[in-house]
């Protein structure tokens, strides 16, 4: 596979790249339905809550995007992301009083499922006779908690789940969300934990049918996905509080890359994490300071996302008071 890594297209502006990306993307299924759901969700969460203030709304992105290699897709480029970070963060955002738009990869880790086994339906239930099933004793508390908490969040209008598979769907839906959230200004937050593809095959250059095997070399050209963080920050939702993530496997370059992203894309914070230790610790990089956030092993709710969301939520509250950058 010929990956044209880092190839700059001379003379192409970001604006032109972004336009080309969206113009050539396959039309998003049900975009009107998504816009309608978002408008209802935002309206509902914009009237004053118990404390007399309107709720803050966060868009949490989660899981990895695919980059298809064929229009009638059989094969695609994928990545490692399980969606654990986004799903767990969603739970802590809800606890902190946020309404959450959870934009997640279909089939990835979901909120409230942390205490359940990998295959919850088949492992948590057992047949009692030919036509009835019941929850296994060992999982009864965990299943009850998960079902009740999920139901409460969704029916209470505090959790809206939207799904993507491809990089096209992800960016199309992210754009709709951002433009819809523009009306609530600094009360909106983007918490971009999804591992979005850096490279993709433009739709028009993609073969329609399944690539045939047989030749020794598969030559597929992937091009850089336009840097949508700039577009989100400058055009789609300029007043929103923006948190992006930076993942590296080499800890020696992690903070340098996170700081560069903070400055280049004018993020409010970049959460830096290393692949192998990402569930243990992260570093929140801002223009003022770098804060190391660690999992507190002495607590029952000992995920690193617990202190992380506390810190981010405090920074967001300060930003709402003084929205200038």
Give the separation between CA 18 and CA 174, rounded to whole angstroms: 13
Least distance CB 244 / ligand PAZ (angstroms): 7
Encoded one letter per residue, x for contact with ligand PAZ by CB under 6 A and - for no contact, window 72-111 reads ---------xxxxx--------------------------
Task: State the maximum Cα–Cα separation within the chain, in Å, rounded to a whole number.
Answer: 69
Q: What is the dihedral of CA 275, 277, 278, 281, to 10 degrees?
A: -150
Segment holding 262, helix H or strand E = helix 251-264
Q: Which is nearer to ligand PAZ, 237 or 303 (CB)?
A: 303
Burial class (CB in 10 A: 0-12, 13-18, 19+), 255: middle
Give the separation between CA 146 and CA 144, rounded to whole angstroms: 6
Q: Can you tell me which of 190, 245, 265, 319 binds ligand PAZ, judged by CB under 6 A? A: 245
Least distance CB 3 / ligand PAZ (angstroms): 16
The interface with ligand PAZ within residues 112-141 (CB under 6 A) comprises none
The reply on whether position 229 binds ligand PAZ by CB under 6 A is no
Q: How many residues in the chain? A: 325
Q: Can you tell me which of 247, 269, 284, 308 binds ligand PAZ, judged by CB under 6 A? A: 247
Sequence-separated contacts (24+) of 136-140 with Cβ below 8 Å: none
Least distance CB 108 / ligand PAZ (angstroms): 7
Give the separation between CA 250 and CA 257, rounded to whole angstroms: 11
> For residues 87 and 104, is the Cβ–Cβ distance under 8 A?
yes
Among 24-32, 119-127, 142-150, 242-250, the segment contacting ligand PAZ (CB under 6 A): 242-250
Encoded one letter per residue, x for contact with ligand PAZ by CB under 6 A and - for no contact, window 263-292 reads ----------x----x--------------
Residue with tokens 């000992």, as numbered in its chain: 302
Q: Which is nearer to ligand PAZ, 184 or 267 (CB)?
A: 267
Distance between first and last Cα of the chain: 43
Least distance CB 246 / ligand PAZ (angstroms): 5
The reply on whether position 193 binds ligand PAZ by CB under 6 A is yes
Applying CB under 6 A, the site for ligand PAZ has a residue count of 12
Give the separation between CA 236 and CA 260, rounded to whole angstroms: 22
Q: Can you tell me which of 188, 195, 220, 222 binds ligand PAZ, judged by CB under 6 A? A: 195
List of residues contacting ligand PAZ (CB under 6 A): 81-85, 193, 195, 245-247, 273, 278
């Amino acid at each position: 596979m010929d990956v044209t890594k880092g190839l700059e297209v001379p003379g192409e502006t970001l604006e032109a790249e972004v336009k080309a990306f969206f113009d050539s993307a396959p039309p998003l299924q049900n975009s009107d339905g998504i816009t309608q759901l978002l408008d209802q969700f935002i309206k509902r969460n914009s009237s004053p809550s118990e404390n007399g203030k309107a709720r803050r709304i966060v868009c949490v992105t989660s899981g990895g995007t695919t980059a298809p290699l064929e229009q009638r897709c059989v094969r695609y480029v994928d990545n490692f992301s399980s969606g654990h970070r986004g799903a767990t963060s969603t739970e802590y955002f809800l606890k902190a009083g946020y309404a959450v738009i959870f934009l997640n990869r279909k089939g990835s880790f979901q909120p409230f499922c942390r205490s359940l086994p990998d295959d919850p339906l088949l492992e948590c239930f057992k047949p009692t006779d030919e036509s009835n099933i019941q929850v296994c004793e060992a999982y009864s508390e965990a299943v009850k908690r998960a079902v009740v908490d999920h139901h409460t969040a969704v029916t209470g209008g505090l959790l809206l789940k939207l799904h993507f598979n491809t990089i096209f769907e992800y960016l199309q839906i992210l754009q709709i969300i951002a433009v819809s959230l523009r009306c609530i200004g600094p009360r909106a937050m983007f918490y971009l934990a999804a591992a979005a593809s850096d490279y993709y095959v433009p739709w028009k250059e993609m073969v329609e049918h399944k690539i045939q095997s047989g030749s020794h070399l598969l030559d597929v050209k992937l091009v850089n996905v336009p840097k949508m963080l700039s577009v989100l920050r400058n055009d789609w939702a300029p007043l929103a509080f923006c948190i992006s993530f930076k993942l590296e496997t080499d800890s020696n370059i992690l903070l340098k890359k996170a700081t560069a992203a903070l400055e280049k894309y004018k993020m409010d914070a970049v959460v830096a994490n290393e692949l192998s230790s990402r569930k243990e610790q992260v570093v929140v990089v801002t223009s003022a300071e770098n804060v190391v956030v660690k999992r507190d092993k002495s607590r029952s709710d000992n995920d690193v996302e617990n202190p992380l969301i506390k810190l981010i939520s405090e920074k967001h509250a300060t930003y709402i008071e003084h929205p200038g950058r």
